[in-house]
Amino acid sequence: STASNGGNGGGAPAAEGDPPPLQLDGYGQSKRPGIAPGEPDPSGVSYVATGELPDGPEKAPVHHARGEVDRQLAERLAKALDVPGAPRLVDGTWKFGLTRDASGPTLDVAKKAPGTWTYNRYGKGGGAGCEEPSTSGPKGDKGEGVPSARCPEPGGGPSDGGADKAVPEAEAKRAAEPVLEAIGLGDAKLNADETMGAVRQVNAEPVLDGLPSYGWQTGLQVGADGELVGGSGRLAELTKGAEYPVLNAEQTLKRLNDSGGGGEVGIGGCASPVPHGDPGGSTTPESQGGDISTAAEPKDGDLSTASEPCESAAGTPAEPAKVRDAVFGQAVQFVAGKPAMVPSWLFEVEMPGATGPENTYTVTHPAVAPEYIAEPDEPGTGEKKPSEPGGSGSPVDIESYSVDGRTLTLRFWGGVCTDYSASAESAGDKVTAEVTGVEKDSDRACIKIAKLFEKKVTLDKPLGDREVADAAGGEDVPRKK
């Protein structure tokens, strides 16, 4: 049996035949302490619908990225991008390209799901690659031998002094289509209205079971010559998991407001939409996994300050934001510490004082009926093994590590609403590392933004030739050099 479309329970055991509790990180708990049931949260953003909201389906599945990216799929992407050479598997990453002078196109694909990848047309040689372009780039590109907006820094935008203009949206989409077709995104929803100087960004969101998605986009940058100059995304296939009863848009909006406005957002302030990708960022797969949410980060590592983008200066709640529309779809959330696509409502929101479609942005919130969401200490659908006795918090998958003497740096994906701790134990020829997360118990609203985190651990002696294993699943962790 299944629950009806609705309900406001909180973690009741599922009946026989129901899907297992969904271990949805950060959502399997009641309203923050100190807020009476039914009372507004004075510290959070609130949302009000300007019209009737849709009902949506009764059930919808969760989609997971599991397993590994095989060599053939990575080679297909490399061929579509015209990156030459055979792949080399280095520390868990398929690597393509890189000419002798480090100026040719390169592609890195993480083997482990979700298979984050990055492409750079001018390699990793910086400006030298722009002064002497490789002739082995995308089809038809022989290079012009001069630095310009057509030749950005690796992974970066155009040079400020370039006179070239970005190509039209239609041309940029045509340039991106062969790559998207090669990796199974031929039917993706495309958006190409963003420009960074002479570079136009094409974002592709997959369509899952006919539903729109949010947060799992592939980003491709097109230069002024109409050729691709960079890109990033996730290559692992999304597979359908268990189906869950879901709430309608009105019920989901109420839960969003009850949570203090803590939905996934694409905004870095009260009325300033942000790009879907950042071609000026890092060129490593770990940092280019597709931007889940890009709200502005605070200084000094105080992530809690990113949680109240629209609180008034006096500390009183801001005027409610207007919900202009709602579409049922799939949005990125963390399920047992791993990114997954979860049935969600995608709300089109207009902030107070803003008018027009260019001043709207998307806020998402899970639509899974709350009685099917696992409580923080309740076993759910995650694939992780539980922490060893005596540990605290939920285990988190470690993406990669680096080492400097006795200092082990662990990298992992997580949310800004969670506090993380790391530890490591040595045994024989292996070091077992563990990262755990505990939801912040705060009286401040917290928007669930996903980030790549780093935690440092001091070993009893230099790592040497020893392997590093992840305590969450026992697998070896790739080393990032």
Give the chain's residues under pLDDT 70.
1-16, 28-44, 99-102, 124-163, 260-318, 354-358, 376-393, 441-450, 481
Residue 429 phi, psi dihedral angles, 5° rounding = -95, 20
pLDDT in tens, 198-217: 999 999 999 999 999 999 99
**Domains in the chain: ranges and CATH:** 47-64+240-275+284-370 (2.40.128), 68-235 (no CATH), 394-470 (no CATH)
Please report the pLDDT score of residue 223 as a whole number.
96
| Dist. CA 167–CA 195, nearest whole Å | 9
Contact, 395 vs 413, CB < 8 A? Answer: no
Q: What type of residue is 143?
A: G
| Dist. CA 259–CA 285, nearest whole Å | 32
DSSP of 296-331: PPPSTT-GGGGG-TT--TTSSPPPPEEEEEEEEEEE
| Dist. CA 391–CA 408, nearest whole Å | 20
